[in-house]
Structure 1
């Protein structure tokens, strides 16, 4: 499987680089991620739960950063075991390029192999699940970076008016405004 995409991030290149190397931000952005812990120099132990078609499993693995050219690029090498569900391994080349003073283009090319039950369910389901996970990661990552940029130059009162709009809409008032919400806000309201 090969996956290539580009995304524009709402922060300067250095801030995007720092976020890509912040385990707390990555844990919050990777769907199903339970933990990311340092495991040597530029290496991390990762645990996450993922569903690919009818196969849902908890994966434990390792992620190693190589070919580091801060703050421009690196290669992520990963491998993980999901017990009876099988395994996954591969790498991703990630590059950051300035897109103006306050934006950065993140591009990546990832290749992966799967085995076990994951390989038996078919490449279309595996590819679809990988694209869905990547899409959700970048949605969350953009929200994290956007929230960080807002925190730097806006007050913490921005959430209250948005909640009022939702309440008015629920009471039959005016239409709610479309807005981006962080996954933590969604979870805490569930």
Structure 2
């Protein structure tokens, strides 16, 4: 499988680079991600749940960052095991280019991946579709995370909960939707 995409990020290159290297931001933005923990220099242990067609599995694996040229590019080398669901492995070349306006950045990537086991048996169309859906959701969440600090706080009326109940409810709803 090969996936190539380009996305415009609403922040300068150095901010985008820092966010791409922040494990808490990545954990929050990667659909189904349960944990990303440092596991050596530029290496991370990852646990996530993914669904591809009728196959749903918890994957555990490693991710290594190589060929690092901060804040311009790196290559992510990854591999994961999903038990009876199979495995996935591959690499993704990520490139950040500052836009002409210097307040936004163009991120492009090319990912090559192989899957085996039940994942390979369900067909490349389903696997490719699931990969595109996960990537799309990641960039939607990532862009929202990057602009989170730029939003003006909403005026709270007297009847609005002051302790964050409204916001907590919204997060629960969002989490429920993203799991379906």
Match of 1:168 in 2: none
1:89-104 alignment runs, 5 A limit: 89-99=89-99, 100-104=101-105
Please report how far the alpha carbon of residue 183 of structure 1 lies from its aligned counterpart in structure 2 after TM superposition: 11
Alpha-carbon distance in structure 1 between the residues aligned to 2:54 and 2:43: 31
Could you say what secondary structure the match of 1:64 adopts? strand
The change in CA–CA distance for 1:160 and 1:3 in structure 2 (over 3 A counts) is farther
Could you say what secondary structure the match of 1:58 adopts? strand
Could you say what secondary structure the match of 2:103 adopts? coil
Could you say what secondary structure the match of 1:130 adopts? helix
What TM-score comes out, normalization by structure 1 length? Answer: 0.82
Alpha-carbon distance in structure 1 between the residues aligned to 2:96 and 2:168: 24
Name which of structure 1's ranges 14-23 and 98-107 shifts more when overlaid on structure 2: 98-107
Please report how far the alpha carbon of residue 75 of structure 1 lies from its aligned counterpart in structure 2 after TM superposition: 0.1
Match of 1:187 among 163, 172, 175: 172
Deviations 1:81-113 (A, max 9, x none): 000000000000000000122100000000000
Alignment of 1:64 with 2:64, yes or no, is: yes
Match of 2:164 in 1: none
The change in CA–CA distance for 1:160 and 1:32 in structure 2 (over 3 A counts) is farther
* Runs of 4+ residues deviating >4 angstroms: none
Where structure 1 has 5 or more consecutive residues not aligned to the other structure, the ranges are 165-181
Where structure 2 has 5 or more consecutive residues not aligned to the other structure, the ranges are 161-166
Match of 2:33 in 1: 33
Match of 1:179 in 2: none
Deviations 1:42-83 (A, max 9, x none): 000000000000000000000000000000000000000000
Q: Give aligned pairs, total.
A: 166
What TM-score comes out, normalization by structure 2 length? Answer: 0.87
